[in-house]
Amino acid sequence: GPLATELLMELGCEVTGYACSADGHFLHEAEPIPAHLTEVAPLVPRARAVVGFVLDPDADRLALIDETGRCLSEELTLALVVRDRLMQQPGPVVINMSTSRVIEDLATQAGCACVRAAVGEANVVAAMRQHQAVIGGEGNGGVIDPRIGWVRDPFIGMALILNLLAKTQQPLSQLVASLPSYAMRKTKRPVDRGQLAEWFAVVRQRCPEADLDDRDGLRLAWPDRWLHLRASNTESIVRIIAEAPTEAEVEALLALVP
């Protein structure tokens, strides 16, 4: 909170802080997702702000609230950053296997490669180094800019998003509306680890036409949609992420899972 406030003021912003004291007391659940930000979101239009920035306690995730008070999917943080960064310097982009394909679309529009790595900051960083990426990150609001450091850093994310707002002279809601639009669902299922191979095999058999990637669980991809299944490292569950152009198509992807 204090670091973000200082940075934004140095960048010339008028800042309204909310729960920015670094005292360990949190006014809502710490994960910066829309469900936890219902009290925070109305403060943005009330302050006549152009954007609301929300950080988690260890400051590696950045969530956004637009000028109307709408909480944006954390997936869109990286998308907006990638759009701005590629306008500055075209080059490879690296994301993890569970990140929205909006970033793939933006990279393609800019004539740049988009590489997917296994989930996890270290995996994304390794791929960024290998491919000399100009920007990368994860869809949970994690931005990695190699000019700053090989870690997720919300502060460079804030600066790049402000840069995009300044360059385009468009409100955040309009910038988001101009991005490719997809529906995404994140869920989980209890699965015994001993049954994983059989379970994944069933899904594979149901999708013989899909592009398959088994570097991190099982990821099945089509030209405009994907399904990713990966076992939790700490629980007997499989995390399931699906993305497609519409909610109905996401439901169809989830129906492929036993």
pLDDT in tens, 153-195: 999 999 999 999 999 999 999 999 999 999 999 999 998 888 8
Q: Does the pLDDT of residue 129 top 90, yes or no?
A: yes
Spatial CB neighbours of 93, under 8 Å, sequence gap ≥ 6:
82, 86, 103, 106, 107, 112, 113, 114, 115, 133, 134, 135, 136
25 pLDDT higher than 90 = no
Give the Cα separation of 165 and 175 in Å (integer): 8
200 pLDDT tier (thresholds 50, 70, 90): very high
Residue 90: CB partners within 8 Å, gap ≥ 6?
A: 110, 111, 112, 134
Q: What are phi and psi of 249, to 5 degrees?
A: -75, -30
pLDDT of residue 196: 87
By mean pLDDT, which of 20-29, 103-112, 122-131, 241-250 is the weakest?
20-29
| Among candidate residues 145, 121, 154, the one with its CA nearest the CA of residue 52 | 154
Q: Who's near 170: CB < 8 A, 6+ residues apart?
A: 178
pLDDT given at position 235: 81
Confidence of residue 26 (pLDDT cuts 50, 70, 90): confident
Calculate ∠ Cα 217-222-228, nearest 5°: 20
* pLDDT tens track for 63-95: 999 999 999 999 999 999 999 999 999 999 999
Tell me if 97 sits within 8 A of 105, measured CB to CB: no
Instruction: Look at residue 234 and tell me whether its pLDDT is greater than 90.
Output: no
pLDDT at 232 over 90: no
Identify the pLDDT of residue 28.
83
Q: What is the pLDDT of residue 174?
A: 98
**Residues in Cβ contact with 148 at an 8 Å cutoff, skipping those fewer than 6 apart:** 155, 156
The pLDDT, as a whole number, for residue 64 is 97
pLDDT at 159: 97
Q: What pLDDT score does 76 carry?
A: 96
Q: What is the per-residue pLDDT for 91?
A: 98
What is the reported pLDDT for 109?
97
The string of DSSP codes covering 139-154 is TTTEEE-TTT-SS--H
Find the mean pLDDT for residues 205-222.
95
- Amino acid in the structure at residue 181: S
Distance, in Å, from the CA atom of 75 to the CA atom of 102, rounded to the nearest integer, reads 9
Q: Percentage of residues in the chain with pLDDT exceeding 70?
A: 100
